Structure 1
């Protein structure tokens, strides 16, 4: 039996749909356990990052310039073969630029291990996609096309596959930034309360990270990492700047700039946070109003396609039945 004929059979389609439904049910009930596991992984990642910065800072203070690698446990360890491929083909020169590390940090991937994995995926993904597509178009579904045409299709899809790691990275970054952006105004309000209560910025960041974790685990992770940087870095402005650079959000960067200026010129941190918190609430309200204003145009097409035909049927159907039914004008 031909493979394409098997795909067109009714029993095969029913089996595929049943398998997809079962997988959806398993994923729905197992998502709660996955979220808990991800939270534990994030907390562990923050702790490992803090240990790494502590070792690097102690090495810098001693004047060695390089931290002891045995005292640093890195969360983003990669496979040996990936590192060998990256080093052998010098993929850092081919794929890495000045913004690569910042893009990975905005997606929540920090450390040399994640960078090596990303470079390896950029190298291996188009090759794997090309091989899989070539096997499909040459052996599984040749379709009577010439050999060069099948190879051209496989090469084209392989070139498209080269952008797959960047697309996935951008998608992860967007989701992470949306989570941080939604929780950032509440974070500013909590931070303002902590500062006005007499806490230092280190304790304020630490306290807010604990409170904001249920709303946005990503923001709690960034605040915890900033707390560690404030404790071990000499320049507090560098810790603030790192937070804005890791998130990549204009709102976070503006607040961090205000904190840097307040720390540099000795102005009131509470006043700066109060102004930025008010701006954050106003920005959130403007975004809500913008979404509410864009709702009527979005409902126009569904209204025309789904509501109006049903409404016309309900209104006109009794008259049509009365006219064309038994005893009606047309039926008599």
Structure 2
């Protein structure tokens, strides 16, 4: 019996040692595999970084640094104003604004090399040196702001031109039995353009949980067009006092058509004044040379021959 007991103890010890050794071997194998996987993951991350475009790996960090430099030396009021202008252009994120600020910093920095080139390399001499340096610096410093302002004005003008037509479609849709938001959806699908893009964004805010009044106020502040502000105010008042939306929309459509007509008449009245400067400085001198040049030459010959 003692021999059998010792044998059982020996077998149990051997089985335990084998189990412990096998577990240790499995843990070593797992650790080696994990080390290989760690190396493989690091290699994958590196390959993924190398697969990114050069603009993202090399240019984006530079733009980020320039953006930080521009924010540091730019007045806070200008930053808020430029962000509002980009919002009026329909940019919902800050990527376009970041690129604009970085480009603005680059162009302002290039003003110094341009002056060095004009004064030390080109050397046109006289007033041409002053004119070339001043014009180049002005374009490099103020050019981005002028282009941005021009784009905002063009978009606002397009919104003012499209607003009467969109309101006519809204009137038809509402009088046909659609709700105001369903009518706006129909306009967004039927009339592409910046105005319907703003309507789509406003509807998205409403569906995300904002009230119609807040969404329309946000649209009004983004676009900053007087005609659209009048339309938003009329709709808000109609909601507040329970006036028929169809009747308000019809009145707004007639008013917007009248304002568009007045805008066209205003531009027609300004056209002669704007044409006066190029005519005086460009057309009239050439006309005088063609018409009066031969007569002046004949007069000079006549007086010269008589003398």
TM over 0.5: yes
CA distance in 2, matches of 1:229, 1:296: 45
SS at match of 1:168: helix
CA distance in 2, matches of 1:144, 1:300: 32
In structure 2, do the counterparts of structure 1 residues 109 and 157 end up closer, same or farther at CA, with 3 Å as the change threshold? same
Task: Output aligned runs, 1:141-220, within 5 Å.
Answer: 141-143=122-124, 154=133, 157-158=136-137, 161-213=140-192, 217-220=193-196
Q: Which stretch of structure 1 is more off in the superposition, 77-86 or 177-186?
A: 77-86
1:128 aligned to 110, 123, 127, which one? 110
What TM-score, normalized by structure 1, do the two folds share? Answer: 0.57
Task: Give the match for residue 40 of structure 2.
Answer: none
Task: Give the match for residue 74 of structure 2.
Answer: 94
Task: Give the match for residue 46 of structure 2.
Answer: none
CA distance in 2, matches of 1:96, 1:121: 18
1:85 aligned to 63, 66, 77, which one? 66
**Shift in Å, 1:300:** 8.5
SS at match of 2:210: coil
Contact 2:171 2:249 in 1 (8 A): yes
Moved over 6 A (4+): 149-153, 295-302
Task: Give the match for residue 106 of structure 1.
Answer: 88
**Shift in Å, 1:136:** 4.3
**Shift in Å, 1:239:** 1.2
CA distance in 2, matches of 1:171, 1:122: 16
CA distance in 2, matches of 1:119, 1:220: 28
**Shift in Å, 1:276:** 1.0
Contact 1:130 1:155 in 2 (8 A): no
How many residues align? The count is 223
**Shift in Å, 1:121:** 2.5
CA distance in 1, matches of 2:171, 2:188: 13
Q: Deviations over 1:240-286 (max 9, x none)?
A: 11221222110001101111222233322222212111111111222
1:254 aligned to 227, 230, 235, which one? 230
2:253 aligned to 265, 268, 277, which one? 277
Q: Which has the larger radius of gyration?
A: 2
Q: Deviations over 1:15-48 (max 9, x none)?
A: xxxxxxxxxxxxxxxxxxxxxxxxxxxxxxxxxx
CA distance in 1, matches of 2:223, 2:177: 27
CA distance in 1, matches of 2:249, 2:125: 68
Tell me the C-alpha RMSD between the 2 structures.
Answer: 3.6
SS at match of 1:199: coil
Contact 2:118 2:129 in 1 (8 A): no
SS at match of 1:79: helix
SS at match of 1:246: helix
SS at match of 2:74: helix
Show structure 2 runs of 5+ residues with no match. 1-55, 292-307
Q: Deviations over 1:26-78 (max 9, x none)?
A: xxxxxxxxxxxxxxxxxxxxxxxxxxxxxxxxxxxxxxxxxxxxxxxxxxx99
What TM-score, normalized by structure 2, do the two folds share? Answer: 0.61
CA distance in 2, matches of 1:294, 1:244: 28
Task: Give the match for residue 241 of structure 1.
Answer: 217
CA distance in 2, matches of 1:128, 1:104: 24
In structure 2, do the counterparts of structure 1 residues 90 and 127 end up closer, same or farther at CA, with 3 Å as the change threshold? closer
